[in-house]
Amino acid sequence: MHTIEKDIPVVTQWDEVIVPSASLFDLRLKEVWRYRDLLLLFVKRDFTAQYKQTVLGPLWHFIQPIFTTVVFLLVFHSIANIPTDGIEVIPFYMSGIAIWNYFSSCLTGTSSTFVANAHIFGKVYFPRMVIPLSNVMSNVVKFGIQFILLLAVMVWFGFKTGHFYISFTWLLLPVLVLMMAGMGLGLGIIISSLTTKYRDFTVLIGFAVQLLMYATPVVYPLSYLQNKSYQWVIAANPLTPIVEAFRYALFGKGSFDGLHLMYSGIFIIVTLFIGTMIFNKVERGFMDTV
């Protein structure tokens, strides 16, 4: 007798399912967490690749703030004679440089996500948000190097003046750095989404960051602008409360406004939410325009 074998359907278990459409509010944060190993790999790549075939390597993170501080001392202290809110001049400038460099590095690095990584995005799938997040995390290492230099300068001035400031306000520092990271990430992913169609934004961002620094109290305290007509413009800058609070946490001098800091926090949350939605929408078809 002959037996007739019937086709038995085989259920295939796929490792990854790529869907053509998704909700605008689908942020896919769980998917990013699943690729955390790749995220750490990109962090290592960003940090090592920057100093490959360089003579001084990470020492550039010490050299850059030192030379910038010298320029600020010459221009804003010696020539313009701008006060520093009772804080020693060199630590004042170095603290502003450290927190500002972290923000600007996060912003400029994230803003070129699609253009700079198109060769990777076109070959393999992974959550595209991994790239800007890795940029923010790798810049934390650079910030840590400059912060160590700042602490060394503070200790030297502490021995010189006989006064060391250590307070519970130092607990605010990680929160303020996280806020700067969120600000740079949110604005950066919005700009990166725009650069897929408008390449001149990449040129504009470098110029805009330089101008934005002077609209933020990096080289001057906020109190210096009291009774001046344009003070409200600087105060409306969401970066201003963070920079002022960073100095206040370090030195116990300057201005600290909880309401303004809350305003910065709300601005960051809204920017991150809007930026993530735009980023997720653009990543679906950006290869057609990049």
- Rounded CA-CA distance 65/111 in Å is 23
pLDDT digits 0-9 by tens, 11-42: 566 666 555 455 555 556 677 778 788 888 88
Average pLDDT over residues 53-73: 80
- Rounded CA-CA distance 153/97 in Å is 13
The closest of 131, 174, 171, 167 to 253, measured between CA atoms, is 167
Under a CB-based contact definition with an 8 Å cutoff, are residues 82 and 219 in contact?
A: yes
The per-residue pLDDT of the chain, averaged, comes to 82
Residue type, 276: T
The closest of 182, 195, 187 to 283, measured between CA atoms, is 195
Q: What is the reported pTM?
A: 0.84
How many Cβ atoms from other residues are within 10 Å of residue 18's Cβ? 6
Angle (CA) 289-276-245 rounded to 5° is 125
Residue type, 269: I
Structure tokens at 181: 């990271």
Residue 181 pLDDT > 70: yes
Enclosing H/E stretch for 176: helix 173-195
